[in-house]
Amino acid sequence: MGVTTAGMTMAPAAKSRSRGMLMGIGAFVLLAAMQAWAISISVADRDMGHLQKIMYVHVPAAWNMMIAYFVVAIASLRYLWKGQENDDLLAASAAEAGALMTGLLLLLGMIWAKPTWGIWWTWDARLTSSAVLFFIYVGYLILRAFVDDPDRRAQWSAAVGLLGALNVPIVYMSVRWWRTLHQPQSSPRTLDPNYTMGLRVNAIAVMLILIWFIKHRYDTAKMERSADQLHERLALSGRGGINA
């Protein structure tokens, strides 16, 4: 019984997998092309020279981190409201991709800070609040790793995801009051038109990668869950588990 159900879902899963692969490759190729394009059209910055090129990954990572955390908050809220497992898996996938983006943001920021400010790290508002966000969402992922029961994990992490999202503006504001040194963040309005287009297309390329990461993790999580359920069904049917 369980085996036939698995057999029937196999074909669309494989198709979705190959589509996902195609999307992933497309996103990476686009990012590489857009990076090359943006780097070739932008002139060296007056103060930073070619270091400015880090912006084409650093700033898109920051924007996409916020998108990922927004998805976590919405999916968590929807899970508490409707109780569907898919929302929980989506929140978890987005949190993972968001934490990755935050890690990338911090790492690139440090690489950028060393030659421009002369230091790897400074207790500036934007750096510090990004680091705090990183820890809030890593905490979320650690909680998921430490809880085995799927219902409990889903309920708890939805609550933690929501409280974390509520805290984002408060963290940001408190850290900004505490200290400010970072240049106003780069956005199309504060940038020389020379760099605007490069930044925009790269933000879109990074967003496609983010979507692909989330989708990939989501598909994996769904497969893991259906494997668990199949295992359970087989065990309950008395055929002695997955090998029967």
Partner 1 sequence: MTWKDEWRRVWAIVWKDLTTERRSKAGLNAVAFMGILVLLLFGFALGPDTEALRNAAAGALWLAILFAGVLAFNRSYQLELDGGALESLLLYPGARWAIYAGKLIANLVFVLIVEAVVVPVAMVLYQVSLPPGWPALIGVTVLGTIGFVTLGTFYSAMSSRSRAREVLLPLLLFPMLIPVLLAAVESSASLLGGDPMSEAGAWVRLLGAFDIIFLVASLLAFEYVIEV
**Chain residues that interact with partner 1, rule: CB under 8 A:** 80, 132, 135-136, 138-139, 142-143, 146-149, 151-152, 155-156, 158-160, 162-164, 166-167, 170-171, 173-175, 177-178
Residues 6+ positions from 48 with CB-CB distance below 8 Å:
115, 116
Compute the distance between CA of residue 165 and CA of residue 65 in angstroms, rounded to an integer. 12
214: burial class by Cβ within 10 Å (0-12, 13-18, 19+)? buried
Compute the distance between CA of residue 163 and CA of residue 80 in angstroms, rounded to an integer. 13
Compute the distance between CA of residue 97 and CA of residue 92 in angstroms, rounded to an integer. 9
Residues 6+ positions from 32 with CB-CB distance below 8 Å:
none
State the nearest-atom distance from the C-beta of 30 to partner 1, in Å. Answer: 34
State the nearest-atom distance from the C-beta of 33 to partner 1, in Å. Answer: 37
Compute the distance between CA of residue 28 and CA of residue 212 in angstroms, rounded to an integer. 10
State the nearest-atom distance from the C-beta of 176 to partner 1, in Å. Answer: 10
**Residue 174 vs 229, nearer CB to partner 1:** 174
8 A C-beta contact, residue 73 and residue 161? yes
State the nearest-atom distance from the C-beta of 204 to partner 1, in Å. Answer: 31
**Residue 159 vs 197, nearer CB to partner 1:** 159
